[in-house]
Amino acid sequence: MSMSNKGCSHIIKYYGAINVLAGQTVEGVIDVYHCRKCKALFADLRRVGVFVTLPAKLGFEELEGDNEWLLLICIKGDEHKINLVQGKLGSKVIHECFDGNREIELEKEEEVFKTGETWHRVFRVNKYINKEIEILH
């Protein structure tokens, strides 16, 4: 259901949300949309209290190939970063980490794994629609 069909003239509808929590604090929300025709998923991460400049490009970013939407959490000490990325387990992705953009291999789902000095955790968006994800410290 998560793969995008680039030949489809999408009819996009709001599908649900995922709350991203750190204890009692909401860190962000992933809004999930899907096409009523081909069922492709589209996702958008909103971080609480973080204002961003919108890109000039309008519309939803489509998934490339057989990628799926993933929430990638970076943890270093008591700090954390959250990223919405395209990828699949076993593949490499570039994401914004503590020391700038960094490439990592997505090793495990939901389990914490260490790369260098930073811990990472990956969640598949399609498994958590209308649920919550807790960030581990």
Please count the structural domains in the chain. 1
Domain that holds residue 128: 12-134
Q: What pLDDT score was predicted for residue 135? A: 86
Report pLDDT digits (tens) over 63-86: 888 899 999 999 998 888 999 999
Whether residue 3 is contained in a domain is answered as: no
CA 108 to each of CA 60, 74, 98, 116, 135: distance values in angstroms, whole numbers, following the listed order: 27, 14, 20, 16, 15
| Lowest model confidence (mean pLDDT) among 32-41, 51-60, 92-101, 114-123 | 51-60
Whether the per-residue pLDDT at 93 is higher than 80: the answer is: yes
Over range 13-19, report the average pLDDT.
Answer: 96
Whether residue 41 is contained in a domain is answered as: yes
Whether residue 4 is contained in a domain is answered as: no
